[in-house]
Amino acid sequence: MRRFWLLITTLLASTAAQAAVYPAPSDNSDLIGKTITVEAREADTFVALARRHNIGYRELRLANPDVDPWLPGAGTPVTLPTRYILPDADRRGLVLNIAEMRLYYFPPAGSQYEGKVITYPLGIGREGWDTPLGRTTITRTAADPTWTPPESIREEHAEAGDPLPRVVPPGPDNPLGRHALYLGFPAYLLHGTNKPAGIGLRVSHGCIRLYPEDIAALYSMVDPGTPVTIVNQPYKTGWHAGELYLEAHPPDADGKNRVDSYTPLVQSVINATRNRPDTPIDWELAESMGTRQHGIPAAIGGTQLTARD
- C-alpha to C-alpha distance for 209 and 190, rounded to whole angstroms: 6
- C-alpha to C-alpha distance for 141 and 190, rounded to whole angstroms: 10
- C-alpha to C-alpha distance for 166 and 154, rounded to whole angstroms: 8
Q: List helix spans (H) across 140-208.
A: 151-159
Q: What is the largest CA-CA distance in the chain?
A: 67
- The active-site residue out of 53, 157, 205, 207 is 207
- Which neighbouring-strand residues pair with 17? none
- In the residue annotation, 240 being an active-site residue is answered as no
CB crowding 123-148: b at 16 or more within 10 Å, else e: bbbbeebebeeeeeebbebbeebebe
- Which neighbouring-strand residues pair with 202? 124
Phi–psi pair at 22, nearest 5 degrees: -125, 150
- C-alpha to C-alpha distance for 60 and 70, rounded to whole angstroms: 12
Q: Minimal CA–CA distance to 16: which of 212, 171, 177, 200?
A: 212
In sequence order, what are the residues at sequence separation of 6 or more whose Cβ sits closer than 8 angstroms to the Cβ of residue 134? 185, 229, 230
Amino acid at position 254, single letter: D
- The active-site residue out of 53, 179, 191, 249 is 191
- In the residue annotation, 179 being an active-site residue is answered as no
Catalytic residue annotation: 191, 207
